[in-house]
Every structure is written in structure tokens, then in C-alpha cells.
Amino acid sequence: MSCMCSMCPMEVGQGPTAATATPVAVEAGLSYALLVALAGACRGPREELTPELHEALAAVGDAEGEVWLNLLGIPLDAGQPQSVDHLLGAVDTMDPVELRLHLLGRHAWSWCTLAGIDDIEAAARGEADASARLLAHPRYYGGHARASLGVLLGLDPMETRGRVADAIAAGSRSLLDPSAAAELAEAAAAARSALGAQSSATAIERLTSGYRYVAEPEAERVVLIPHLEPGLPLVLAQHRFSRLVAYYAASGGSAEERLVALGRALADPKRVEILALVGRGTGRAADLVEATRLTRSTVHHHLAQLREAGLIALEGNARAYTYVPRSEAAGEAAALVAGITRTEEE
């Protein structure tokens, strides 16, 4: 799933109306950007990676990239997300069992509810029976537990920490552009400006290109984290008492780019079918899979295209995610067309 819910596995029922009075903070830095970039690298073509990074990721064994998203809480806890060196230092000095607790979702309330705290803690210590139960769980780790954790859970905690640290170091040498720090600082400033100029719910939806967060009792705050990995435009995660919303900072674009995205979204008959289904109230991804007879991953790809084009929004939290039509989409599309075709005489 390339756009969302990488650490939020629970989808039941229909979600409540989007609204939040939860305090919202903005965090940005190379540590967060590198972890999301590592997740993207796991999902992309491996032949495009440097040999060093290819080998390091193979040693971790996660083909889905989920393990890196489960580590977003480390720079958040450390309070020094700007430098990759701080991330490496935090990982190198962390108790290896604690690192595995991060990897297994001990600090994410949805994973604890879904898979059980006892099994997560036992597997973090290296207990084989608990590890086997987690790997066999059909919904844990978004249904990708074996593909994501099959290698790491076969290692002892010290070896786990060593392989994770090696991959972070390799990624730091090839995945981040020298201008990344400035881009992230600019994106963070834009996010803080948006939060100061409008309601937090409106700002979150605008910054994330269509995610409408619904407050949840476990979350004492929302943390917005801009990143630079286009392959993962939206990542929804949890850490301790924070809801993490990591989003692609370069989304949006010029009027021309937005029109191209709109045209691309409407150019596929299946996407139009999904848009019509959402408009008629079929909002859960599972129901859309059933209605279209497409695979889950294909439906999520189409939904991401429609959301990024501004035609639909994703509403909810870990209890329920629902896709809803954006009533303002038609007016926005008309304004884009009018603006781009208007002559200077007009």
C-alpha cells in the first residue's frame, strides 16, 4: 500500500465526521526523511540502489519497507531529528530489545490491540513461539508480517540492531540530496503557517492532499512530518501518545501540474468506476475491492491517484478509514481549467 496506513491496521465500520481539537505539532528533519526514504527504497526497483544499500536492505529482509516506518518514533523520542548522525547514535546506543520493541509496534496502540502486548514483548526478546504467532497473524503489519519481519525475527536482538544500523548508514550515503535539509525546513515553515492561518483539520487536509483526521482518544497530539519520498505520499503512524502524519512535502504543484494529475486520475475507466462508487457511498477499501473485483493493492493505487487529484478524501483514524467524495472538487477543476485557458485580454 503506497499511500497510507502503514502502521494503522484496523479498518472497521464507518468513520465519524472528520474533525479534530487535538493539538497539532510539526516535526521535520533528515532523520524522518531518511526513514521514509528507506521504506520507499524497499518498495522500489532494487537495481536503482547502490550496491552497498542493496546489500544492507537484503540483510534486513523487508520487501515492504514497514520496519522503517515503525522507527519514526526514535527521532521523535530523541528530540534531535535534524541530523542523521543523531539517528544513528540513537540506534547504536539503544538497548537492542528496545529497538525490537519499536520494530514490532510496542509503542503503537493499534499493533498492541491487534497482536497483543505479551506476544510483541516476547518476540522482542527473541522467543520463537511468540515470533511465529506474529508472523502468522493475517492482519499484523498490514498483512505483510512474514515479508517484513521474517528475517529480523530470526536474529538475536544484537544482530537485529547491527543490521538496522548498517542499512540506515548506507541509506544516509545515497538516498538524501544535499538540499534536503533546506527543503524540509521550508516545508515545516509552510505547515506551521497553514496551521496558524486556518483550523487544524483544514490545514491537515490541505497539507496532506486529502487526509481528514478524526480525533482518537489514544492520541494526545498530532505530529505532522513532511518528507521527500514521492512513492509514499501519506504515511499514518502511531508512537506512544502521538498520531504521526508523514506526508510528501512537494505535493500540490502548479495549476498545470494539478490539471495533469486530474486528467491522469480520470483517464482510467476503473478509477472512474471507483470514483462513482465512492460518490454513491461505498467508502471502505475492502468494499471497493469486492465491488470492483480488483486486488487490494490495485484499488489502493487507484484511490491514491484519485485522492492526489483532489477528487476524494480519506477520512478517519485507525478505527475506521473511509473514502469520501470532495464536494468542492468540481468547482476546483472548473477554476483550474478557466485559469489556464484565460487570455491576457480577459
Spatial neighbors of 291 by CB under 8 A, at least 6 apart, are 277, 282
pTM: 0.88
Element (H, E) at 243: strand 242-248
Q: Which residues pair with 221 in a beta bridge?
A: 242
Quote the pLDDT of residue 325. 93
pLDDT grade, residue 203 (50/70/90)?
very high
Please tell me the distance from the alpha carbon of residue 139 to that of residue 130, in angstroms, as a whole number.
Answer: 15
Instruction: Read off the pLDDT of residues 324-344 as tens digits, 9 standing for 90 and up.
Output: 999 888 888 788 788 877 755
Please tell me the distance from the alpha carbon of residue 243 to that of residue 222, in angstroms, as a whole number.
Answer: 5
% of the chain with per-residue pLDDT over 70: 92
Helices of type H across the chain: 30-43, 51-60, 66-69, 73-78, 84-93, 96-104, 109-115, 117-125, 128-136, 145-149, 157-172, 180-197, 200-207, 255-266, 269-279, 285-292, 296-308, 329-341
pLDDT grade, residue 179 (50/70/90)?
confident
- Cβ neighbourhood burial of 286 (10 Å; 0-12, 13-18, 19+): exposed
The domains of the chain, with CATH numbers, are 30-172 (no CATH), 255-341 (1.10.10.10)
Owner of C-alpha cell 503512524: 237
Please tell me the distance from the alpha carbon of residue 206 to that of residue 195, in angstroms, as a whole number.
Answer: 10
| SS3 state of residue 78 | helix
Residue 162 Cα distances to 7, 94, 244, 291, angstroms: 23, 11, 26, 45
Quote the pLDDT of residue 78. 87
Using the predicted structure, report yes or no on whether residue 321 has a pLDDT greater than 80: yes
pLDDT grade, residue 7 (50/70/90)?
very low
Please tell me the distance from the alpha carbon of residue 261 to that of residue 310, in angstroms, as a whole number.
Answer: 9
